[in-house]
Structure formats: C-alpha cells, structure tokens
Structure 1
Amino acid sequence: MTFQELKPLISTIVAKEAFSKEEKLQEICNLLKNEISYYDWVGFYFANHEAKTLHLGPYAGSETDHTVIPFGKGICGQVAVSNQNFVVPDVSAQDNYIACSFTVKSEIVVPLFVNGTNIGQIDIDSHVLDPFTNEDEVFLEFVNQEVAKLY
C-alpha cells in the first residue's frame, strides 16, 4: 500500500469516536507495520518533560526492553532534545545508538508536536539497510499531525 493510500486510513482511525486514544495509536502502529514492508517495528514514545524521559506507548513489533529512554540517549532521546527528524540509514555507524535487536539495521524517528511542544515521537525500526526516503519523513510527519488531533 502506498503512503497516499494509507493517509485516509490514518485519518479514519484518528476520527473513530468509539476508540480510546491508546486503541487508535495501536491501530496506527499495526497498520504501518503490516502495510509497509520495511517497517519492522513501529511505536510511539511520549515525553515526561519534568523527568526528561521518554516512555513507550503503543507499538507493533518485537517486545523491547527500552520502555523508558532518557532525553539525549539513543536516536529517540536525541530527537526529544533536537525536535528534528532523525534518519539513520545504518545503525551500526551511530555512536549514540541503543540496540533494540541485532536484526535492526536502520531507524527513523519523527517528533510529535502539539501546540508547538514536542510531546513524543513515532519510532520506526527496519531490518533493511537505508530504506527510508524523504517520502517516509513526509508521510510520518502527516501521521503525527493526525495523531496530534488526539491531544
């Protein structure tokens, strides 16, 4: 399924009145993991600005031990500080990478803003080297704009 085909599905999930926020986020994770061949782990992390930590929310993929990540640590922690998208074509080339699994080859993290504040991020791991393009970034920014409507 193409990003253009997925966009209305994301919007439909966000608009579901009978679903809780958590259920909607889980459905988005499942949809992206199932429909994009190189999205092997899809999850949301949410910021606790007082503690300067990220906390794992809904996700689809293998279980992870990384349920709490300090700001600045790993790719997700760096995005919490920089407020910028971070695309890692090859995780083995990153010094500040937190290994979730030996099968992960690349990662993309896009911050989630609500009223100008970075409240979290969507994190995608891939078992493929360098699969992420500008189109992935634009699509994930769209996903986060839709998710922001839940807050």
Structure 2
Amino acid sequence: MPLTTLKPQVETILSNSKNTVDDRLLAVCELLEAQVPYYNWVGFYFKNGDKNELKLGPYVGAPTDHTIIPFGKGICGQVAVSNKNFVVPDVTAQDNYIACSITVKAEIVIPIFVNGENIGQIDIDSNTPDPFTEADERFLEFVCAKVSEIL
C-alpha cells in the first residue's frame, strides 16, 4: 500500500480535538505500525523541558528501557542536535547506535519542528534490513508537520 494513502487517516486522527494530544499521537503510532509491514516500533520522543535530553512519548512496539536519551546519543539524540532526518539502513554499521532490541535492523528518525525549533521526533525501528525509501522520508515529514500543528 502506498504510504500516501495513509495521509487522510493521519489528518483525521490528529484533528480530533476531543482526544488528548497523547491519545492522538498514540493513535498515529498504532495506525503506522498496523498499516506499514516493516514499521515494527513507532514512537515519539520530545525535548524534556529545558534539559538537553529527549523523553519518550507515546509509542507502540516492544517496551524500551530508553525513556530518556541525552542529546547526541544514539540516532534520536543525533537528530536532536543535527535537526536533520536520519535514515539508518543497517543499525550494526552505526557506532553511536543505542540497541533497543536485537531484532532491529534499520531505523528512521524525522524531527518535528514548532516555530522553527526542533521539539521532538518520530522514531521508527524495522526488523527488516534497509526497508526505508525516500517515500518513507517524505511521508514521515508530512506526519511530523501535521503533528507540529497540534503541539
């Protein structure tokens, strides 16, 4: 299924102001994990107040010990500093990778900007080697832009 077919569902979930922001973010995670076969862990990390660290927000997938990630550490921590997308086709080739599970083969992290400031990110792990394409990047940028509108 083309990722673009999920855009209306993402917009519907995020525009439902009857639900809390966390409930809407969790629903987006559930949608992406259920509809994209190679999205095995989907979650959001957000800047933890004034600290130079990320705090885990809503997610679906295996539990993780990585509820706090210092800026610069791991893929997520690097995106918090670089403000750029990070696509990792093979996590074993990354020196600064924080292993969440031995089954994870690839990761994609896309920052979320509010008023030009990087306030968080969507993080997706895949148990499939090198699954992410430019289509994933563009789609997840769309998701992050829509998420930024409700934060």
Give me the TM-score of the superposition, normalised by structure 2: 0.98
Instruction: Give the deviation of 1:17 after TM superposition.
Output: 2.1
- Pair 1:27 & 2:32 matched: no
TM-score (norm 1): 0.98
Residue 13 of structure 2 is matched in structure 1 by: 13
How much does 1:4 deviate?
A: 1.6
> C-alpha displacement at 1:49, in angstroms?
5.7
Unmatched segments (≥5 aa) in structure 1: none
Q: Structure 2 unaligned runs (5+)?
A: none
Give the letter aligned to residue 5 of structure 1: T
Please list, as runs of the form range in 1=range in 2, the aligned pairs for 1:87-98 lying within 5 A after superposition: 87-98=87-98
Matches within 5 A, 1:2-151: 2-48=2-48, 50-151=50-151
* Counterpart AA for 2:33: K
Aligned-pair distance for 1:51?
1.4
Poorly superposed stretches of 4+, deviation over 4 Å:
none
Deviations 1:7-48 (A, max 9, x none): 000000111121110000000000000000000000000012
Per the TM alignment, residue 5 of structure 1 is displaced from its structure 2 partner at its CA by 1.0
Matched residue type, 2:107: E
